[in-house]
A and B are shown apart, each in its own frame.
Chain A
């Protein structure tokens, strides 16, 4: 089983739609959680951290359920520019340093 699992998609949605991505992680000792965004043939960039209490950044809302080892990302009022791959990232200890483990990503396509 992969340490971080995501639905690969693609999710095809019209502009203005609300879309949600889910992610599960296997290591219950994982300490920090993030969503990264990766555009086609570009490097990943941090979108937002995910906190236990849930957090919101504009149209983006991230939530964490530690009991279920589940992370979500909600995008409201989708824009064409939101089209990208969204990577679920989990940070845990590895031989003394905190290692990031990346999911394979969920691809989002927003159409006019």
Chain B
């Protein structure tokens, strides 16, 4: 079946512009995560959606970052007034949570490589 898809695969933008990154999770997966990975760094958690619950935004680095998940499926990560330090690969993952709040294996999309000039 189809995996997690993300678009665009690459995005080059100028400092100060807004960008939107899209994630299509695996069908039926109710949990969705956004991470970013800077060059030579580990994955940094950004935000988590689970069903209709309020998202966990504890990883968002600033108020320039926001994310939505409409209809419990597709998610959009928006970065306003981009800065050069926002340059990274933004990865989306989805999973099907097990009982008791335990999350099952996370499946990652191919990522969006964002370059802010």
Assess the A102–B42 pair: CB atoms within 8 A.
yes
Is the CB of A14 closer than 8 A to any CB of chain B? no
Main secondary structure, interface of A, reads: strand
B110 proximity list for chain A (CB < 8 A)? 42-43
If A43-B91, A43-B109, A44-B108 touch, does A96 touch B101 (CB 8 Å cutoff)?
yes
Assess the A87–B106 pair: CB atoms within 8 A.
no
Chain B, interface size category, equals 20 to 34
Q: Which of B13-21, B43-51, B63-71, B72-80 makes up part of the contact surface? A: B43-51
Q: Which residue of A46, A94, A101, A104 is within 8 Å of B56 (Cβ)?
A: A94
Chain B residues numbered 30-49 whose CB sits less than 8 Å from any CB in chain A: 33, 35, 40-43, 45, 48
Assess the A43–B41 pair: CB atoms within 8 A.
no
Assess the B111–A96 pair: CB atoms within 8 A.
no
- B residues in contact (CB < 8 Å) with A: 33, 35, 40-43, 45, 48, 50, 56, 58, 91, 101-103, 105-106, 108-111
Please list 22 pairs of residues, one from A and one from B, whose beta carbons are closer than 8 Å in the complex, sorted by A's number.
A4-B42, A42-B110, A43-B91, A43-B108, A43-B109, A43-B111, A45-B108, A46-B105, A94-B58, A95-B56, A96-B56, A97-B56, A97-B101, A98-B101, A98-B102, A98-B103, A99-B48, A102-B42, A102-B43, A103-B42, A104-B41, A105-B42
